[in-house]
Amino acid sequence: MSDRYYITTPIYYVNDMPHIGHIYTTVMADIFARYHRLRGAEVRFLTGTDEHGQKIEKAALDQGIEPIELADRVVARYHGLWKTLGISHDDFIRTSEDRHKRAVETIIRRITANGDIYKGDYEGWYLAADEAFIPDSQVKDGHDIESGRPVERLSESSYFFRLSAYQDRLLEWYRANPECIRPRTRYNEVVSFVEGGLRDLSISRTSLTWGVPYPDDDEHLVYVWLDALTNYISALGFGSDDESLYDRHWPASMHLVGKDILRFHCVYWPAFLMSAGLPLPKAIVGHGWWLRDEAKMSKSVGNVVRPDALIERFGPDALRYFVAREMAFGQDATFSDEAFLERFNADLANALGNTASRTLSMTGRYLDGRVPAPSGDGPVPAAAQSAVEGYREHMENGKPHRALESAWQLLKAIDGYIQEQQPWARAKDGDAGMALVESTLYVSLEGLRIISLMIEPFMPTIAMQLRRQLGIEDAPRNLDAAVEWGGLAEGTQIGKTEPLFPRVDIAAYLKEITMESPAADTEKPTEDDLLSIDQFFKTKLVVGTIREAEQVPKSKKLIRLMVDLGEPELRQLVAGIAERYQAEDLVGRQIVVVANLKPAKLMGVQSQGMLLAANVESAPFLLSPDAEVPPGTVVS
């Protein structure tokens, strides 16, 4: 087994705040990273953000801010969340960083030198939500058949990557490395997709302003997936003066991704790497999706609790445990409050928490808080050995949920042994009874020491608390130590016993959250979400007549308008409408303007208000009165 382990998460789009799906990918990657550290590997763990592309550009425009401002905001949220969740990444890459842009440029130059890039025209469909080019056969009535989401027609000059030339080489790679895509179902999907034939891929865009400049061509920006995938090597210094990290850690041991983005990782990425003459990742692992079972949720509480509320109330480790245990890794699962609470009580408060607190408090009561002489009595030592073996095997085979099952079998064995031996009764039986109390408690404490190692990747904070209570917080931590029975030294003074997970009253909690946050995540607006008429009238909507219009220099989307709102001076507005409207056609047209908005700068040009448009995906449709009215007429 290699003693280096480089693991990555996908880099997250910054058009939205993180949710349970993002948490899942990152927590699972963290669990694998921590597991491999625990077995003694030199681990490198990377996560980050994907900040370019049409989706982000539009989201920023909609909010009236620059894309980098939006990215900064969301990145701050990610940093906060990863800290709270105990994510132990070694690096956080942002695609807006120079080190990344340099690597993208380098890989494109290598691919170009290999003769795999040519210039042409792209005419076809684009699904901005996935930043993906969609073949005609997959589009019906302007919608992507698979996802049902609207697509837009692109017609622009583009650089193309000769993906078609890589079909055979990719198939050879898959066949020679049956473990390179996991689980097997995903491997089969990818192979049959590639067997179906590959078309060359457009790798640049001219109709955007936010992205990595294409090398030696100012008109083009690099297609966001080529840009994003390169993060896995840009964060290692690829293309910089110091490639030592790249030399040390590439190729990656595991790219962990959701199943929706497997194709980009299993087809495009290896083909780019082959063309650039770089080694391929060892494994790409696709996990399933978290679904929300609306019916089940609405039946009991009528709403959904956000992960933030769960973290705040139950601690980050409870959420980490739940997502790792509840989802059979690779398959889909449903996220529900009830399932979370049931697991919390049964697995954490009861099986783990109670077994620990019983053992520790009896050690305090009967043995003055000191670990007794080692013992190997009863079934627990053998149970510990098989639990650790099962645990390791499952972790190596990408089944972390089963690894937890193994650990919980050991907890069950400890608990069963305590029940059977009844140390609280034996303690009354004089010296002979006390000998039994000592051996029972040693076996249980030692079992808990092993448990503290097995849960460490999943619940690092709780694992540390347990170790503190066992009096071994400073002992070295590694998995090999777990298999050696008798690691807990006689005479060790245990720490203060505190419940690891206080049991929760499920009914009371569900009632409480329903009252606290009525319909927090449902579509239905509540009293609090509705505006009073006074609040609505705080927004000043007026009709304006466009007097001047011109495209903002260097921007493909923005038009600068001078609008007559019936005021002494014309108002300057900047609007992202150039994709559907020519500046010169707008003069004389009437629009609806939010007139009392704080001014904002877009591409350095000040906008003193905002016009209203219906947005169909990224295409704006301007709103106007159906007959001409005087400029400044109030809309109400």
Residue with Cβ nearer ligand MSP (102 or 358): 102
Alpha carbon distance 528, 364 (integer Å): 52
609, 575 in Cβ contact below 8 A?
Answer: no
Q: What is the nearest approach in angstroms of ligand MSP to the Cβ of residue 360?
A: 37
Alpha carbon distance 380, 386 (integer Å): 10
Encoded tokens for 448: 């808990």
Q: How many residues bind ligand MSP (CB under 6 A)?
A: 18
Alpha carbon distance 24, 19 (integer Å): 9
Element (H, E) at 36: helix 20-38
Which residues between 241 and 260 bind ligand MSP (CB under 6 A)? 257-258, 260
Q: What is the nearest approach in angstroms of ligand MSP to the Cβ of residue 48?
A: 9
Does residue 11 bind ligand MSP (CB under 6 A)? yes
Query: Considering only CA atoms, which of 118, 114, 136 is closest in space to residue 127?
Result: 136
CB under 8 Å to 484, separation ≥6 — which residues? none
Judged by CB under 6 A, the stretch of 16-24, 170-178, 213-221, 338-346 that binds ligand MSP is 16-24
Does residue 238 bind ligand MSP (CB under 6 A)? no
Residues 329, 399, 376: CA angle, nearest 5 degrees: 140
CB under 8 Å to 13, separation ≥6 — which residues? 49, 50, 53, 55, 56
Does residue 229 bind ligand MSP (CB under 6 A)? yes
Does residue 21 bind ligand MSP (CB under 6 A)? yes
Does residue 24 bind ligand MSP (CB under 6 A)? yes
Q: What is the nearest approach in angstroms of ligand MSP to the Cβ of residue 128?
A: 12
Does residue 210 bind ligand MSP (CB under 6 A)? no
Alpha carbon distance 555, 559 (integer Å): 8
Residue with Cβ nearer ligand MSP (298 or 331): 331
Does residue 466 bind ligand MSP (CB under 6 A)? no
Written as one letter, the residue type at 516 is: E
573, exposed or middle or buried, with CB in 10 Å at 0-12, 13-18, 19+? buried
Residue with Cβ nearer ligand MSP (129 or 519): 129
Establish whether the linkage from the previous residue to 183 is cis, with ω within 30° of 0.
Answer: yes
Mapped onto helix, strand or coil, the DSSP state of residue 607 is strand
Which residues between 34 and 53 bind ligand MSP (CB under 6 A)? 50
Residues 579, 580, 581: CA angle, nearest 5 degrees: 105
Residue with Cβ nearer ligand MSP (15 or 465): 15
Q: What is the nearest approach in angstroms of ligand MSP to the Cβ of residue 153?
A: 23
Its sign, for the CA torsion 97, 102, 103, 104, is: positive
Pairing between strand 181-182 and 204-205? unpaired
DSSP code, position 354 = I
Question: 145-154: buried (b, 16+ CB within 10 Å) or exposed (e) per residue?
Answer: eeeeebbbeb
Does residue 92 bind ligand MSP (CB under 6 A)? no
Does residue 189 bind ligand MSP (CB under 6 A)? no
Does residue 233 bind ligand MSP (CB under 6 A)? no
- Of 5, 6, 7, 25, the one binding ligand MSP (CB under 6 A) is 25
CA-only gyration radius of the chain, Å = 30
Mapped onto helix, strand or coil, the DSSP state of residue 53 is coil
Judged by CB under 6 A, the stretch of 225-233, 351-359, 510-518, 529-537 that binds ligand MSP is 225-233
Judged by CB under 6 A, the stretch of 19-27, 190-198, 237-245, 571-579 that binds ligand MSP is 19-27
- Of 5, 6, 7, 13, the one binding ligand MSP (CB under 6 A) is 13
Residue with Cβ nearer ligand MSP (11 or 117): 11
Alpha carbon distance 333, 43 (integer Å): 29
Q: What is the nearest approach in angstroms of ligand MSP to the Cβ of residue 516?
A: 24
- Of 5, 6, 7, 10, the one binding ligand MSP (CB under 6 A) is 10
Q: What is the nearest approach in angstroms of ligand MSP to the Cβ of residue 49?
A: 8
Judged by CB under 6 A, the stretch of 4-12, 32-40, 192-200, 431-439 that binds ligand MSP is 4-12
Does residue 442 bind ligand MSP (CB under 6 A)? no
Mapped onto helix, strand or coil, the DSSP state of residue 93 is strand
Does residue 108 bind ligand MSP (CB under 6 A)? no
User: Which residue's Cβ has the minimum distance to ligand MSP?
Assistant: 258
CB under 8 Å to 273, separation ≥6 — which residues? 279, 280
Which residues between 250 and 309 bind ligand MSP (CB under 6 A)? 257-258, 260-261, 289-290
Alpha carbon distance 436, 427 (integer Å): 8
- Of 12, 45, 366, 442, the one binding ligand MSP (CB under 6 A) is 12
Residue with Cβ nearer ligand MSP (258 or 566): 258
- Of 228, 437, 443, 611, the one binding ligand MSP (CB under 6 A) is 228
Encoded tokens for 292: 């929300």
Does residue 323 bind ligand MSP (CB under 6 A)? no
Q: What is the nearest approach in angstroms of ligand MSP to the Cβ of residue 335?
A: 8
Does residue 22 bind ligand MSP (CB under 6 A)? yes
Q: Give residues in contact with ligand MSP (CB under 6 A).
A: 10-13, 21-22, 24-25, 50, 228-229, 231, 257-258, 260-261, 289-290
